[in-house]
Chains A and B, each alone.
Chain A
Amino acid sequence: MFKKVTTGAVALAIVSTLQIAPVSAQETLYVPLLTYRTGPFAGGGIPIANGSADYYAMLNERDGGIGGLKIVTEECETSYNSQKGVECYEATKGNGALVYNPYSTGITLQLIPKAPVDEIPVLSMGYGLSAVAVGEKFPWTFNYPASYWDQMSSIISFIDTQDGGIKGKKVGFIYLDVGYGKEPIPLLESLSESMGFEVVKFPVAGKEMQTQSSHWLNVRKENPDWMIMWGWGAMNPTAIKEAAKIKYPMDHFIGNWWSGADVDLKPAGEAGKGYRSANMAASGTHFQALQDVIKYVVEPGNSQADPDTVGSVLYNRGLYNSVVVAEAIRTAQEIAGHANITGAEMRAGLEALDLTAERLAELGLADFTAPIKATCENHGSGGSIFMQQWDGSKWVRTSDLIAPMTDLVRAELEAAADQYVSDKPNWKTQSCN
C-alpha cells in the first residue's frame, strides 16, 4: 500500500515536471526570468523582476511580440540562492530558453560553464564574472554594458577628478562578502598600486548585512578619505544609516549601481543626502517606452508592480535588461533570417548587438543609457556609467558619462579570463579573427 503511495508521489512529480514543458510546442520566444521576490534580497529583486516582465508584456501588447512572435516569459523564484537558481535553470532550459539573466553573481557563476554545454547564452547585465567580457574565452556569456571592473575604474576615475586627485588618499571598500562583492578587488588593488592610493577593505558577511555597527566603527577607526560600496539588498540602507551615524561625509561615499536604488536611500532619508552611486540607466518615467509600459501593462493592471515603483532605479534597470534582450532577439532574428530563433542564434544576436543612441531614441529611450556595441572580442566591457546623487528624497543625475579605463581593464580581464580557462580542459573558446 505504501509502495503505491510512494510510486504515486514519484509519478506525480514526473507528471508535474512534464507539466512545465508544453510551452515549447508553439512558435514563441521563450525567456525564463530567474527572479527573487522573496528572501533577504527581495527588496531589490522585486522591482527588477517587475521592470523586466513589464517590458516584455508591453512589447507583446503593443507590437505583438518581436518579429511577429510572442514573448513567453516564465518567472522562476530563486530567492537569490544558487541552488534554487540552478534548479530553475534545469527546470526551464528544456523549454527552448533563449537567454538567462540570473540576477545573482552566485547563480551566474554556476551557469557560466553550463551555457556552452546547453547552448543557451547567459547575459549577466552589470554583474557576474567580470572576465566573461572577454568574448574569445567566453563565447556564451555577456555582461554589457559594463563589467564590475569597468565600473570600478570609472568610479576611481571619478574620485580622481575630485578633491585634487586620488593619489595618496585612503579609499575604503565596503562590500558584501560574497562572489559579487569580491569581484572588483583585484582591479582595485592593481589600481591602488598604479595610481598610488591606499585601499582598506571592510567585508560584510551576508548574514551581517543588517548589523554593520562594527564595520563602521572600523571605518571610523581607519577614517578613509573615500568609501566605495559594493552592496546589495538590506546591506545598502544599513550601511548608509551607519555611515550617517558615524558622521562619515556622505558625499565621499560612493556606491556601485547595485547600491543606489530608491529603496536603499529612503530609510536614511535626509541623513543620506550627498551619497552618490553609479548607475547605467536613468530613472524616472518620462521616457516614451516607460509611458508605453504604463499604458499597456501597468494601467490595465497586468503588472505586479506597485505603480509608485515604476520608473525607480531598479525597475528601470530590469526594464533596461529586457530592452537589451529584446534588441538582441531582433538582431538574432535578422541574422538568422527567421523569427523563431534558438539559443545559439540568440548568442549571435547578443554578440552582434549594436544599441546606438539612434536606436535608443527609436525605442523611446533617448538618453536613457549609454549606447552598447558588442563584438566577438568584447562581450561587455567598456560601457560608461554616470553618477547620481541622493538629495534627501530622490536621485539626481550629477555627472556625464564616465568612461572606464578600458585598456587597463581589458588587460586585467584577459588575464583573469586566461586564469579561469587555464584549469578547465576542453573549455570552448572562439576565435574572433
Chain B
Amino acid sequence: MIYRETGQFKTNYKADNSIFPILQDRIAIIFYLFVAFIVIPAFGSDFFINSMMIPFLIFALAAIGLNILTGFTGQISLGTGAFMGVGAYSCYKLVTIFPDTNVIFLIVISGFFSAAIGMVFGLPSLRIKGFYLVVTTLAAQFFLEWCFIRIEWLYNYNTSGAIEVPRREVFNVIVTGPEAAAVTQYLVVLSIVVAMTWIASNLIHGRIGRSWMMIRDMDIAAELMGVRPLYAKLSAFAVSSFYAGVAGAMMVFMWLGAAEVESFDVNHSFLILFMVIIGGLGSIKGSFLGAAFIWMLPVVLRAFPKALGLDVPVATVEHVNFMIIGGLIIFFLIIEPNGLARIWALLKQKLRVWPFPY
C-alpha cells in the first residue's frame, strides 16, 4: 500500500545491488535511524534506554553474530553465551592492562579474541554436522564457562570472581562505569551496532556471504564450486564469534557494569538462539526483530498487570511469562517457521501487491 515502486528503475549495478532497492524502504531506514539517534535519546526515559534499548541492541548484535553462523552458514551453535563471555573478559583484561586506551576501541578489539576462540571451536565443524555440532558448541560453552571461573587471571583475581567495569572516559565523556549516562552508553552501543550491522550486511551480500550460504544450502555443491569449507566455515565462526564477543563486551561495559559467569551461561546461548529463530534464520532484520521480541516482550508482559491495575504476585507473572514465551515460540514456529523476518517480508509483499492478494 505504501509501496509505490512504479518508476523506480535501476540504471547501474550499484543501485540494483543496493541493500534497500526500494525508495520507501530507504525512507523507512532513515526514519528508524532518526528515531534511534535523535528521538530516543531526546525523549526516552532512563529505564527505557537502559533496560530496553541497550540490551535490545546488544542482543540484536549477538543475534546477528549467531545468525551469520546458524542462519547464513547453517552451523547450529549453542555457544554464543560463552563467546560473548570471551569478549567480555578480554575487554576487561584489555581495559585494565591498558587503562588509557580508548575503551570503545578496546571493546571492538576484544571481538578478535572471541573470534580466535570461536575459530578453535569451529574446527570440529569441518567434520561434524547438525545436532552433532550442537554438542561441540555446548562443549565450548561449558568449557569456557569453567575457564571464566577457574582462570582467576581473567578477572584479576577478584575475590568475588566478577568483573567490574571501571570508569573510563572518551574525549572527556564518561563512557563506562556507573557514572556513565545512559544516553551516552546508548549512543555508543547504537553506533557500534549500526556500524557492525552495516558491515555484516556488506559481508553477506558479497562473495564471503555467498560462500557461507553456499555451504549452508548445499555444502557439497559449494565445494565443487570452489568454496573451501575450511575457509568458509571458519570465517563464519570467526565473524560470528567476533560479533558475539563485541556484544558480550558491550553487555558488561555498556549495560550491566559488572558480570559474573552466569551472564554468559547456556541460558544466554538459548536466549540468542531464540532471537535468531523467532526473528528469522538468515535475516539481519530478523535478528533485530527477534531481539526486540524476546527481550522486550517479557518487560512489557511484566509491566502489563501493573498497567492494568491488577495485583498479581510477581512470581505468577514470571511463571506466566515463561508460559507465554514458550507458547509463543511454538505458535510462531507453527504459523511461520521462518520467523518474524518472514512475516515482515510477507507483510511487505502484501503491501507491495496491495490491493491484490498476491
Binding site for B on A (CB under 8 A): 1-3, 9, 12-20, 35, 37-38, 42, 46, 75-77, 79, 81-83, 86-87, 90-91, 94, 105-106, 109-110, 113-114, 116-117, 129, 177-179, 182-183, 185-186, 203, 205-207, 304, 416, 423-426
CA distance A425 to B300 in the complex (A): 37
- B99 contacts across to A, CB distance below 8 A: 423
Residues on B with beta carbons closer than 8 Å to the beta carbon of A177: 149, 161
Q: A20-B303, A37-B315, A426-B179 are in contact. Are A1 and B258 (CB under 8 A)?
A: no
Complex-state Cα separation, A1 to B349, whole angstroms: 12
B164 touches A109 (CB 8 A): yes
Contact B149 A83 (CB under 8 A): no
B127 at the interface (CB under 8 A from A): no
Q: Is the CB of A13 within 8 A of B161?
A: no
A113 contacts B161, C-beta separation under 8 Å: no
- CA–CA, A383 to B48, complex, Å? 40
Question: CA–CA, A3 to B351, complex, Å?
Answer: 11
Complex contact B302–A77 (CB within 8 A) = yes
Contacts of A75 in B (CB 8 A): 313-314
Chain B residues 284-317 with CB under 8 Å of chain A are 292, 296, 299-300, 302-304, 306-307, 313-315, 317
Q: Nearest-CB distance from A225 to chain B (Å)?
A: 25
Residue of B with least CB distance to A184? B159
Once the chains bind, are B351 and A1 in contact (CB under 8 Å)?
yes
- With a cutoff of 8 Å between Cβ atoms, the chain A residues found around residue B266 in the complex are 207
Interface of B is mostly: helix
Q: How far is the CA of A116 from the CA of B351 in the complex (A)?
A: 52
Q: Which residues of A contact B262 (CB under 8 A)?
A: 81-82, 106, 178, 206
Alpha-carbon distance A1/B263, docked complex (angstroms) = 37
Give the contacting residue for B315; candidates A38, A110, A116; CB below 8 A.
A38
Check if B44 is an interface residue, CB within 8 A of chain A: yes
Can you list 13 A-B contacts with CB-CB less than 8 angstroms, sorted by A residue number?
A1-B347, A77-B302, A82-B258, A86-B256, A94-B45, A105-B160, A110-B257, A117-B179, A178-B161, A178-B262, A182-B161, A186-B159, A426-B167
Given contacts A13-B296, A19-B307, contact A83 B263 (CB under 8 A): yes
A210 to B245, CA, bound (A): 31
Total A-B residue pairs with C-beta atoms closer than 8 Å? 149
In the assembled complex, B52 has its CB within 8 A of some CB on chain A: yes
- Which residues of the partner chain B approach A106 to less than 8 Å between Cβ atoms? 162, 260, 262
Given contacts A38-B319, A110-B256, A117-B178, list 12 more A-B pairs with CB under 8 A: A9-B296, A12-B300, A42-B315, A76-B314, A77-B302, A81-B262, A82-B260, A106-B260, A113-B165, A182-B160, A206-B261, A425-B166
Contact, CB under 8 Å: B161 / A77: no
A-side contacts of B55, CB under 8 Å: 83, 87
Check if A182 sits within 8 Å of B159, measured CB to CB: yes
CB distance from A143 to the nearest CB of B (A): 13
A372 CB, nearest partner CB in chain B, Å: 24
Q: Which residue of A lies closest to B56 (CB)?
A: A13
B348 within 8 Å of A (CB atoms): yes
Please report the C-alpha to C-alpha distance between residue A129 and residue B292 in the assembled complex, in whole angstroms. 34
Residues of A within 8 A of B260 (CB): 82, 106, 109, 178-179
Closest-by-CB residue of A relative to B271 is A83
Q: How large is the interface on B (under 10, 10 to 19, 20 to 34, 35 or more residues)?
A: 35 or more
Q: Which residue of B lies closest to A115 (CB)?
A: B178
Cα distance A205–B28 when bound, in Å? 47
Please indicate the chain A residues that have their CB under 8 angstroms from the CB of B52 in the complex. Answer: 13, 17
Question: Which one, B48, B167, B300, B344, contacts A2 given CB within 8 A?
Answer: B344
Q: In the complex the two chains form, is A35's CB within 8 Å of B314's CB?
A: yes
User: How far apart are the CA atoms of A13 and B292 in the complex, in Å?
Assistant: 11
Given contacts A16-B303, A20-B306, A87-B51, contact A109 B160 (CB under 8 A): yes
Task: Determine how close the nearest CB of chain A comes to the CB of B264; give it in whole angstroms.
Answer: 11
Instruction: Contact check, A82 vs B351: say whether CB atoms are below 8 A apart.
Output: no
A76 to B51, CA, bound (A): 14
CB distance from A187 to the nearest CB of B (A): 9
Complex CA gap A106/B258 in Å reads: 9
Residues of chain B contacted by A87 (CB below 8 angstroms): 51, 55, 299
A116 to B145, CA, bound (A): 31
Cβ of B145: which chain A residues have Cβ within 8 Å of it?
Answer: 205
Question: Do A113 and B149 touch across chains, with their CB atoms under 8 A apart?
Answer: no
Distance, CA A35 to CA B313, complexed state (A): 11
B153 CB within 8 Å of chain A: no
Report the separation of the CA atoms of residues A113 and B256 in the bound assembly, to the nearest whole angstrom.
11
Say how far B102's CB is from chain A's closest CB, in angstroms: 16
CB-defined contacts of A1 to chain B, threshold 8 Å? 1-2, 347, 351
CB of A16 to closest CB in B, whole Å: 4
Verify A16–B159 contact, CB threshold 8 A.
no
Indicate if the CB atoms of B313 and A304 lie closer than 8 Å. Answer: yes
Residues of A within 8 A of B48 (CB): 13-14, 17
B319-A13 in contact (CB<8A): no
